[in-house]
Structure 1
Amino acid sequence: MAKSIDYGNLMHQAMRGLIRKVLEDVARDGLPGAHHFFITFDTTQPGVHIADWLRQRYPGEMTIVIQSWFRDLEVTEEGMSITLNFGDNPEPLVIPFDAMKTFVDPSVEFGLRFEMHEDEDDEDEDEDDDPEDDPPHTPAEVVSLDKFRKH
């Protein structure tokens, strides 16, 4: 039996589900109105597939914008795949939800940030606990949109 309720992980799962639902709707119906998304993700996470030249340019993290031109948006339980245009060069991307660090829709001042705390609780764990049995602890929080506002 768990020692406590892991609200951070539960919130993480709920927020990933929200992003998945929004992206599923966009894949089916397109972007409504002025909506557009800034998605920052960790390019080193397992399951991230981007072109070699993009990985060299963004070795740690990358922010993409889903706005006026995109195609082949597909959403699964694990993440999304999409083709975006980089300087008249269409490139396919595969981004697992677990690799996402931020999801922002500045048109409605909505944003989420996912913090990765891999070794934070190691000191509190009993030696009998198997860390591989525990889900990753990555709580979600609302991110300030000030940096995305037009001044």
Structure 2
Amino acid sequence: MNVTKLSYEKMVEDALRGVLRQALQITAAQGLPGSHHFYITFDTTHPGVKIADTLKTQHPNEMTIVLQHQFWDLKVAQDQFEITLSFSGVSQRLLIPFAAVTAFADPHAKFGLQFHVEFEERTAADEELDMEDDAEDGDGAEREEPMPVDSAKVSRQIKGRKTTLRPVTDAPAESGEEGAKVVTLDAFRKK
């Protein structure tokens, strides 16, 4: 492959995603250190994201998960991570490519990152693989192709706005355990 232009923005973005990857690797190995906890926002329409249909229905475009007290079986790979969280007392497995992550924050450290999400062109072979994966999962439901997002336009809309994280708590589980907290980002809504 012959490189005709150096894309420094993409290089920096990849490096910053490495910060998220490393934080999750440390967490997978030893748990969250001290009072650290993570808010991870991701695009639910991004290719490769695998979440339960109920979660997809509740969060058709974007979802924020909180890693604090109740998460299990965190596995971190080079290009994605998997985690089990409890939603209204029901354990759900999530597979999230790092490329789908739009924001990462650790409020304890007063640290946060925002990412641009880019979609690659999908081929017929990609579609066929997705259909095979759905068949293996036993999910025969038809899924709409995600719409491409102009990340530059979204970035311009977000720039300068104050982002407010507002927790939306699910009803507590019958077993007495709290469900995972889902957070909405008011900054993405037009006022």
Tell me the TM-score range normalised by the shorter chain: 0.7 to 0.9
1:50 corresponds in structure 2 to 51
Moved over 3 A (4+): 1-4, 143-146
Q: Secondary structure at the match of 1:26?
A: helix
Q: Secondary structure at the match of 1:107?
A: helix
- 1:2-151 aligned at under 5 Å gives the runs 2-116=3-117, 147-148=164-165
1:133 corresponds in structure 2 to none
Alpha-carbon separation, structure 1, partners of 2:161 and 2:78:
27
Alpha-carbon separation, structure 1, partners of 2:15 and 2:76:
16
- Over 3 Å counting, the alpha-carbon distance change for 1:71 and 1:144 in structure 2 is farther
Q: Secondary structure at the match of 2:164?
A: helix
User: Structure 2, unaligned stretches of length 5 or more?
Assistant: 120-150, 167-191
Q: Which amino acid aligns with 1:63?
A: T
Q: Deviations over 1:34-78 (max 9, x none)?
A: 100000000011110000000011010100000001000000011
Q: Which amino acid aligns with 1:53?
A: T
Alpha-carbon separation, structure 2, partners of 1:145 and 1:31:
27
Alpha-carbon separation, structure 2, partners of 1:117 and 1:68:
31
Alpha-carbon separation, structure 2, partners of 1:16 and 1:37:
14
Structure with higher RCO (Cα < 8 A, 6+ apart): 1
Alpha-carbon separation, structure 1, partners of 2:59 and 2:164:
20
TM-score (norm 2): 0.61
**CA-CA distance at 1:2 after TM superposition:** 3.7
Q: Deviations over 1:1-60 (max 9, x none)?
A: 544321100011101111111100100000011100000000011110000000011010
How many residues align? The count is 130
CA contact under 8 A between 2:100 and 2:117: conserved in structure 1?
no
Q: Which amino acid aligns with 1:21?
A: Q
TM-score (norm 1): 0.77
Alpha-carbon separation, structure 2, partners of 1:83 and 1:75:
12
Calculate the aligned-residue CA RMSD, in Å. Answer: 2.7
User: Structure 1, unaligned stretches of length 5 or more?
Assistant: 119-137
Alpha-carbon separation, structure 2, partners of 1:74 and 1:117:
23
Q: Which amino acid aligns with 1:66?
A: L
Same amino acid, percent of matched pairs = 43
CA contact under 8 A between 1:106 and 1:148: conserved in structure 2?
no
